[in-house]
Chain A
Amino acid sequence: MESRFLTNKIYSLFQNNGLRLSRAVMLFSLIILCMMTLASCAHQSERTLSSKAGLSSSLDTPNILIVNTNSRIDRYAIAEASFTESISDTTSNTDIRVLDLGSELHPLEILQDTLNEHDYDAIYAIGAKALGSVDYIDPDMPVIFSSVLNWRRFHGQDNYYGIASEVAPKAQLTWFKYFFPEVKKVGVLHSVDNLQLIQDARISANELSLTLIASDVKAEDSLEKKANTLLDQIDVLWLVSDPVVLATTGKAELLFELAHKKGIPVLSYNRFFDDLGALLSITADLPTTGRQAALMMKNVLAQHANKESVQFPAGSRISLNAAKAKAYGIVLNEDALDSVDELVGE
């Protein structure tokens, strides 16, 4: 009864010529309300899942899902951008959807929902969170990954392909030799986890006329003692990604301090160590990593075998501390400057 009264009241207001403006305002408000409701619905479905514009979708075209750990982080955004650009260049008519887990509190649920909503042919997982989530769900499709530090865990796993996070040890040693041709003895501290890497590196070092002096470190060993013994025998110290030797930032800082005291330059596999005083760092070039992943994806989609299930990055990003080279009195090949991407400590 009361609602009927209100309806009549509103109707009477509409009938009133003096209140035309109010009617217009109400109508306009209603339209805005509808638009907002529609927009919020649309936004809800695109909150985490976005489709790359310009790429068509049909039953014949391959559907790729990119699962990104966090698209707002540069290194992940770069890999995504260069992958998308390369795959579009080389594979026509590809439908690419991106799931950004950056702000997701329940990544597994949203990933599962996404996989249920659409049929995908392959996944490109960028970063550890993305790959970990994909691995947990274990979808029955090929997975290509990059920007994952513990990539070795996935080496040899069926349907998993990827790009390692560090430049190949052989390539790192080649760059060291190119920049510092007079270096003869390279020292490295490693745990049992890197035994195979050291064995391979020893062969590469031999080809480059370098002597690799390796020191095996166990978790219970004194890193200081081991490092000091090694530093007395070498020209440069080479850091490799190792879960025991570089277990904490404190251990890395200790190594740099000991090396500095003995006047031994440190060569590293990541730009992270530039701030600690590394002489040269060889890091994987992120855009190249994305391009390699795109080529791997193309092979997987065409059912061509990839030569290796995990490839080392083909591109390097080199930072050099020329001031340190001068301070240590180490001979720098000036020709090699055409390969430097960043000069640090200037």
Chain B
Amino acid sequence: MQIFGLLSVPIFFRVALSMCFSMLCILGMSSFAFSQTQTPLTIYFYKPEINTARNSVLKSTFDLYLSEHGAYQFQPVDNREVFETLFKGEEEAVFMMSSRHYQQLLQQHQGHISIEGARVGLLGVKGGSDTYRKILVSKTEQVDFTSMNLATSATRESSVSLLESEFTGLDIQDTSALNVLVVPKDIDALMAVGFGLADMALTTKSSLEKLSNLYRNQNQALYVLAESKPLKRLAVVFRQGSTEAYKKALTIIKQMPQNEQGRRGLNMLGLDDWRLIDESIAREGGMRHGK
């Protein structure tokens, strides 16, 4: 009698073949399941005052911290429009953004169903304060916005908007002719004025203090022409359907100061802690390691 097919193969090979097939099935199913459950949660970041050249270092620093806590990834965005599209379109994501930008988006899209699902969970803190002030400095006491150069670390659009809406007592009639020199950092803007490369600088009050502290002759011939209202620091906005997932993501970010890599990430953003805005999380015990 002739034996055909699998039965013609010796028993050892038949067993081996069956085992391989079974293993393949198990591996295939488990990897499929893994891919389904491990889709990383993305933390998008955009802040007009932070130079996009720093995106790479921010991503690597945050990813190192986040990788210790699960499937999370940090994604800086270098374009305001792209970020806003993501903000409106992504239903499972976290957004780190300027508080002012968030408020502007809320006003623009009042009643927009996708915006309503967003909630601010955390606010950045530096030296115990969740606000900061912008200042306008110059080497001269009189400035002319139609002919002078302004050094700033933010985009032209953002700087002009800030000058027009957050500063009081400034005589800004026409900013269309204003020459804006966008520089990477607030300290660069100050030094640009100090070295005569720009006539004015829009910078932070803390940057002027830092620079002044370095020099023997503090505030060397720099006039603070105007000071902004207190501005809220970086906001962390959560858009997550599941409360559990939201609490988990919030807790991981909130606990950054307790870890060396996390502290470095915060320092990279000019912060040293987060303040919990959504108090309900603390009441429900979501923050296991305290506020």
Q: Which residues of chain A have a CB within 8 Å of any CB of chain B? A: 89-90, 168, 170-171, 174-175, 177-178, 206-209, 285, 287-288, 291-292, 295, 298, 307-308, 311-312, 314-317, 334-335, 337-343, 346
**How many inter-chain residue pairs (CB < 8 Å) link A and B?**
96
> Contacting chain A: which of B20-28, B99-107, B128-136, B188-196?
B188-196
- B32-43 toward A: CB 8 Å interface, digit per residue (1/0)? 000000000000
Contacts of A317 in B (CB 8 A): 53, 184
A285 pairs with B53, CB closer than 8 A: yes
- Among A307, A338, A342, chain B packs the most CB atoms within 10 A around the CB of A338
A178 pairs with B214, CB closer than 8 A: yes
Contacts of B179 in A (CB 8 A): 90, 295, 298
Which residue of the partner chain, among B61, B198, B210, contacts A178 with CB atoms under 8 Å?
B210
Query: Which A residue's beta carbon lies closest to that of B269?
Result: A338
B60 pairs with A314, CB closer than 8 A: no
Docked complex Cα distance between A97 and B61 (Å) = 41
| Least Cβ–Cβ distance between B32 and chain A, in angstroms | 34
Contacts of B268 in A (CB 8 A): 337-338, 340
B183 pairs with A342, CB closer than 8 A: no
Assuming the A-B contacts A171-B191, A339-B187, A341-B57, are A292 and B214 also in contact, with contact meaning beta carbons closer than 8 angstroms in the complex?
no
| Least Cβ–Cβ distance between A292 and chain B, in angstroms | 7
Contacts of B263 in A (CB 8 A): 334
A316 pairs with B184, CB closer than 8 A: yes
B51 pairs with A312, CB closer than 8 A: no
Which residue of the partner chain, among B57, B188, B198, B214, contacts A340 with CB atoms under 8 Å?
B57
| Least Cβ–Cβ distance between A305 and chain B, in angstroms | 13
B195 pairs with A343, CB closer than 8 A: no
Q: What are 8 A-B residue pairs whose CB atoms fall within 8 Å in the complex?
A: A174-B214, A178-B211, A285-B183, A285-B184, A285-B188, A314-B183, A334-B263, A335-B210
Assuming the A-B contacts A171-B191, A208-B214, A338-B268, are A314 and B151 also in contact, with contact meaning beta carbons closer than 8 angstroms in the complex?
yes
B185 pairs with A339, CB closer than 8 A: yes
| Least Cβ–Cβ distance between B150 and chain A, in angstroms | 11
The answer to the question of B56 belonging to the interface, with a C-beta cut-off of 8 Å to chain A, is yes
Contacts of A339 in B (CB 8 A): 185, 187
Q: Which residues of chain B have a CB within 8 Å of any CB of chain A? A: 51, 53-54, 56-57, 60-61, 149, 151, 156, 179, 181-185, 187-188, 191-192, 195-198, 210-211, 214-217, 263-264, 267-270
B192 pairs with A341, CB closer than 8 A: no
Query: Which B residue's beta carbon lies closest to that of A181?
Result: B214
Query: Which B residue's beta carbon lies closest to that of A344?
Result: B57
Which residue of the partner chain, among B56, B217, B267, contacts A337 with CB atoms under 8 Å?
B267
Assuming the A-B contacts A209-B216, A335-B210, are A291 and B181 also in contact, with contact meaning beta carbons closer than 8 angstroms in the complex?
yes
Shortest Cβ-Cβ A-B pairs, 10 listed:
A338-B270, A337-B267, A314-B192, A315-B183, A314-B197, A315-B184, A334-B267, A285-B184, A177-B214, A314-B183
A340 pairs with B54, CB closer than 8 A: yes
| Least Cβ–Cβ distance between B209 and chain A, in angstroms | 11
Query: Which B residue's beta carbon lies closest to that of A334?
Result: B267
B210 pairs with A315, CB closer than 8 A: no
Summarize A's interface: helix, strand, loop or mixed. Answer: helix
Query: Which A residue's beta carbon lies closest to that of B153?
Result: A315
Contacts of A338 in B (CB 8 A): 267-270
Docked complex Cα distance between A258 and B246 (Å) = 53
| Least Cβ–Cβ distance between A319 and chain B, in angstroms | 9
Contacts of A298 in B (CB 8 A): 179
Query: Which B residue's beta carbon lies closest to that of A82?
Result: B182
B57 pairs with A311, CB closer than 8 A: no
| Least Cβ–Cβ distance between A78 and chain B, in angstroms | 10
Which residue of the partner chain, among A206, A315, A337, A346, contacts B188 with CB atoms under 8 Å?
A315
Query: Which A residue's beta carbon lies closest to that of B56?
Result: A342
What 15 additional pairs, Cβ within 8 angstroms, besides A285-B188, A316-B184?
A: A89-B156, A171-B191, A175-B187, A285-B184, A287-B182, A288-B182, A292-B197, A312-B195, A314-B183, A314-B191, A315-B184, A338-B267, A338-B270, A341-B57, A343-B60
Docked complex Cα distance between A166 and B46 (Å) = 29
Contacts of B181 in A (CB 8 A): 288, 291-292, 295, 314
B188 pairs with A343, CB closer than 8 A: no
Contacts of B151 in A (CB 8 A): 314
Docked complex Cα distance between A225 and B193 (Å) = 41
Which residue of the partner chain, among A171, A177, A178, A337, contacts B195 with CB atoms under 8 Å?
A171
Query: Which A residue's beta carbon lies closest to that of B178?
Result: A90
Contacts of B269 in A (CB 8 A): 338
Docked complex Cα distance between A171 and B214 (Å) = 12
Docked complex Cα distance between A343 and B62 (Å) = 13
Which residue of the partner chain, among B149, B187, B214, B216, contacts A295 with CB atoms under 8 Å?
B149
Query: Which A residue's beta carbon lies closest to that of B50?
Result: A338
Query: Which A residue's beta carbon lies closest to that of B187?
Result: A339
| Least Cβ–Cβ distance between B278 and chain A, in angstroms | 26
Contacts of A287 in B (CB 8 A): 53, 182
| Least Cβ–Cβ distance between B66 and chain A, in angstroms | 16
Docked complex Cα distance between A107 and B214 (Å) = 48
| Least Cβ–Cβ distance between A252 and chain B, in angstroms | 25
A288 pairs with B54, CB closer than 8 A: no
| Least Cβ–Cβ distance between B180 and chain A, in angstroms | 8
Docked complex Cα distance between A346 and B59 (Å) = 14
Query: Which B residue's beta carbon lies closest to that of A308?
Result: B196
Docked complex Cα distance between A288 and B52 (Å) = 12
| Least Cβ–Cβ distance between B120 and chain A, in angstroms | 22
Docked complex Cα distance between A161 and B188 (Å) = 21
Contacts of B217 in A (CB 8 A): 207
Docked complex Cα distance between A94 and B152 (Å) = 25
Contacts of B267 in A (CB 8 A): 334-335, 337-338
Docked complex Cα distance between A90 and B54 (Å) = 26
Query: Which B residue's beta carbon lies closest to that of A176?
Result: B214
